[in-house]
Amino acid sequence: MSDTATTPTNATFDQFGLHADILKAIAEQGYTTPTPIQAEAIPVVLGGRDVMGAAQTGTGKTAGFSLPIIQRLLPLASTSASPARHPVRALILTPTRELADQVAANVQAYAKHTSLRSAVVFGGVDMNPQSAELRRGVEILIATPGRLLDHVQQKTANLGQVQILVLDEADRMLDMGFLPDLQRILNLLPAERQTLLFSATFSPEIKKLASTYLRNPQTIEVARSNSTATNVTQIVYEVAEGDKTGAVVKLIRDRGLKQVIVFCNSKIGASRLARQLERDGVVATAIHGDRTQSERMQALDAFKRGEIEALVATDVAARGLDIAELPAVINFDLPFNAEDYVHRIGRTGRAGASGDALSLFSPNERKQLADIEKLIKRPLDVQRLTVDTPVRHHHDERAAPRRERDDRGGSRRRTTGAHERPHGTHHRQQPVDDFFLKPYEPSPSAVSAAAKRDEAPAAPQKPASKQPLAALLGGFGMPRKTTPSN
Ligand code: AMP
């Protein structure tokens, strides 16, 4: 498809010729040297070329595309109040609301000393404030596909002057069934534009998307920065299934963890674990698709402020979360999809900080462990963890279906879905939160507009790509931890 860039070393932000206003913002963010993806992507994007970037969240890719976009748009920046002087010139599409919000926060910080305007639109919240902001005019728009189409339909977003398109986490967008929405959006954009596609994997579907919509792209493949990878210590603790909650409490207490994400394979499991941890004195909350957007944002903010010790999350809810310097993640369940393990442990050891990826492994998860080791191309250090005083509750919530309180204080009947099959049954299906899988999420105010569409609904969810990740991630040459698990 194109030449592959090599990773430069010793780069500085000064070398790119970025405007002083952008350099000032970079300095204020505390960035001193560009990450490898930034060192590679910034000059290519500045040169106007299309990019096919293999990079995950955590590599610094957001600044890698945002900084040169801001630089390229600066000559068009206007201090005029007229909306006509602020058309959408750069569009950044992301699969999830959380990622959209994070990208928007970064763009805003990087552009704060310029007169360029940015805004973010995503579903699950009132459209009206978004519409008002769009009407005032923004040059850089960050959006999830469904809500963007709502705005296009309502004529609050006009994409006719977009010069730069970014497809962020493109593999995730396809996995979530956004392809039809993406195609609709792409058809609304000028053919003459620069397109930047970022994806953790280059599956055949991604390559097809790229060959259809990108022009002679430069491929940029960057391993998750070696400093990050080598700073993540991975330990697998073998425990009885019934002792897992006690094991989480023990790990948090013994290691003095003040901020940890605990991953569960299902949203019901996440809610249950958060409640159990609370009963055992750990300040915990669950973040998953049964929570409203504002509940999830509140939980995330409280976690970032250090008010919550354990954020219990499902994979899709946690995708793209950027929490600086997270000391540890715990896998309560080993993920069914080995790639999710890589995404999960990428939440710790970010931007050069060290971190621990601690996984609980019960005998019925051998297949998942084998899949992970195959993917990362190395055996994992398995230690026994003895939970002295197993945390058991009067009613074992893993038992048969019953009415349970949901996170909003209501009561609902448990349904038996793909994520809830008892252990030992066949469960290779990707565990996902349906909330996030709705490719089209009209708000109440957009329902009438959406109803008018004659196009078919988005494609159903497909299982996540099985492309190997280890090559992109540098093979995880991490030291084994030899200390006993006490
Ligand atoms: P991203 O992969 O874009 O989500 O970025 C991951 C984290 O790295 C974010 O917290 C960024 O603020 C941070 N970051 C991005 N670029 C740099 C840099 N050059 N130096 C230090 N931190 C950075």
Q: DSSP string of 395-462? A: S-TTSS--EEE-TTS-EEE----GGGPPTTS---SPP--HHHH-S----GGGHHHHHT--SPPPPPP-
From the CA of 409, how far away is ligand 1's center (Å)?
37
- The minimum-distance atom of ligand 1 relative to the CA of 320 is 4
Residue 473 predicted with pLDDT over 80: no
184: alpha, beta or left? (left if phi > 0; alpha if psi -120 to 50): alpha
- The minimum-distance atom of ligand 1 relative to the CA of 106 is 12
Residue 408's pLDDT band, with cuts at 50, 70 and 90, is very low
Residue 283's pLDDT band, with cuts at 50, 70 and 90, is very high
CB 481 within 8 A of CB 233: yes
Q: Is the CB of 34 under 6 A from ligand 1?
A: yes
From the CA of 335, how far away is ligand 1's center (Å)?
26
Q: Return the pLDDT at 349.
A: 66
Q: Is the CB of 57 under 6 A from ligand 1?
A: yes
Q: Return the pLDDT at 324.
A: 61
Q: Is the CB of 35 under 6 A from ligand 1?
A: yes
Q: Is the CB of 465 under 6 A from ligand 1?
A: no
Candidate of 57, 322, 343 to mutate for ligand 1, largest count of ligand atoms within 8 Å of Cβ: 322
Q: SS3 for 65?
A: helix
CA dihedral 104, 105, 110, 114 (to 10 degrees): 70
| 151: phi then psi, degrees, rounded to nearest 5 | -70, -35
Q: Return the pLDDT at 375.
A: 82
Q: What is the mean pLDDT of residues 150-155?
A: 96
Query: Where are the chain's structural domains?
Result: 3-221, 232-417
Q: Return the pLDDT at 174.
A: 87
From the CA of 38, how far away is ligand 1's center (Å)?
10
Q: Return the pLDDT at 58.
A: 72
Tokens read off for 360: 């609980």
Fold of 232-417: Rossmann fold (3.40.50)
Q: Is the CB of 63 under 6 A from ligand 1?
A: yes
Q: Return the pLDDT at 322.
A: 61
- The minimum-distance atom of ligand 1 relative to the CA of 61 is 3
Q: What is the mean pLDDT of residues 167-189?
A: 91
Q: Is the CB of 98 under 6 A from ligand 1?
A: no
User: Does 421 or 153 have the greater pLDDT score?
Assistant: 153
Which of 48-57, 159-168, 307-316, 343-352 is predicted most confidently? 159-168
How much is the mean pLDDT over the chain?
77
| Residue written as token pair 């058309």 | 87
Residue 39 predicted with pLDDT over 60: yes
From the CA of 483, how far away is ligand 1's center (Å)?
31
* Alpha carbons 271 and 299: distance in angstroms, whole number: 13
CB 288 within 8 A of CB 437: no
From the CA of 351, how far away is ligand 1's center (Å)?
6
Q: Return the pLDDT at 389.
A: 57
CB count in 10 Å sphere of residue 486: 9
For helices 179-188 and 204-213, the axis angle rounded to 10 degrees is 10
Q: What does each C-alpha distance from 55 to 157, 301, 472 come to in angstroms?
A: 29, 25, 8
Q: Is the CB of 197 under 6 A from ligand 1?
A: no
Q: Is the CB of 62 under 6 A from ligand 1?
A: yes
User: Does 236 or 428 have the greater pLDDT score?
Assistant: 236
What is the maximal distance between C-alpha atoms in the chain? 67
Q: SS3 for 263?
A: strand
Please provide the CATH number assigned to the domain covering 3-221. 3.40.50.300
Which helix (H) or strand (E) covers residue 260, if one does?
strand 260-263
Tokens read off for 160: 């006719």
Residue 198's pLDDT band, with cuts at 50, 70 and 90, is very high
Q: Return the pLDDT at 180.
A: 93
| 68: phi then psi, degrees, rounded to nearest 5 | -70, -30
Exposed, middle or buried: residue 158 (CB in 10 Å: 0-12, 13-18, 19+)? Answer: middle
Residue 126's pLDDT band, with cuts at 50, 70 and 90, is very high
From the CA of 66, how far away is ligand 1's center (Å)?
12
User: Does 381 or 277 have the greater pLDDT score?
Assistant: 277
Q: Is the CB of 59 under 6 A from ligand 1?
A: yes
| DSSP tag of 258 | S
Residue 453 predicted with pLDDT over 70: no
* Alpha carbons 371 and 348: distance in angstroms, whole number: 21
Nearby residues of 13 by Cβ (< 8 Å), 6 or more positions away = 23, 26, 31, 33, 34
| Residue written as token pair 């040297």 | 33
- What is the chain's Cα-based Rg? 22
Q: Whose CA is nearest to atom 11 of ligand 1?
A: 60
For helices 338-345 and 366-376, the axis angle rounded to 10 degrees is 70
Q: SS3 for 218?
A: strand
Q: Whose CA is nearest to atom 1 of ligand 1?
A: 60
Residue 108 predicted with pLDDT over 80: yes
Torsion over CA: 302, 308, 312, 315 (sign): positive
Strand partners, 271: none
From the CA of 65, how far away is ligand 1's center (Å)?
12
Q: What is the mean pLDDT of residues 36-48?
A: 95
Residue 31's pLDDT band, with cuts at 50, 70 and 90, is very high
pLDDT digits (tens, 9 = 90+) for 286-324: 987 677 777 777 888 888 888 999 999 988 776 656 666
Residue 464 predicted with pLDDT over 50: no
Q: What does each C-alpha distance from 108 to 27, 56, 162 come to in angstroms?
A: 14, 21, 18
From the CA of 307, how far away is ligand 1's center (Å)?
23
3-221 shares its CATH topology with 232-417: yes
Could you tell me how far CA 459 lies from the centroid of its own chain? Answer: 21
Q: Return the pLDDT at 279.
A: 94
Candidate of 23, 29, 224 to mutate for ligand 1, largest count of ligand atoms within 8 Å of Cβ: 29
Q: Return the pLDDT at 350.
A: 59
Q: Is the CB of 302 under 6 A from ligand 1?
A: no
From the CA of 352, how far away is ligand 1's center (Å)?
10
pTM score, whole prediction: 0.59
Going through 264-348 in order, the beta strands assigned E by DSSP cover: 284-287, 310-313, 328-331
CB 91 within 8 A of CB 141: yes
Tokens read off for 410: 């209501």
Which one, of 441, 232, 189, 433, lies nearest residue 343 by Cα?
232
Q: Is the CB of 58 under 6 A from ligand 1?
A: yes
% of the chain with per-residue pLDDT over 90: 51
Residue 440 predicted with pLDDT over 70: no
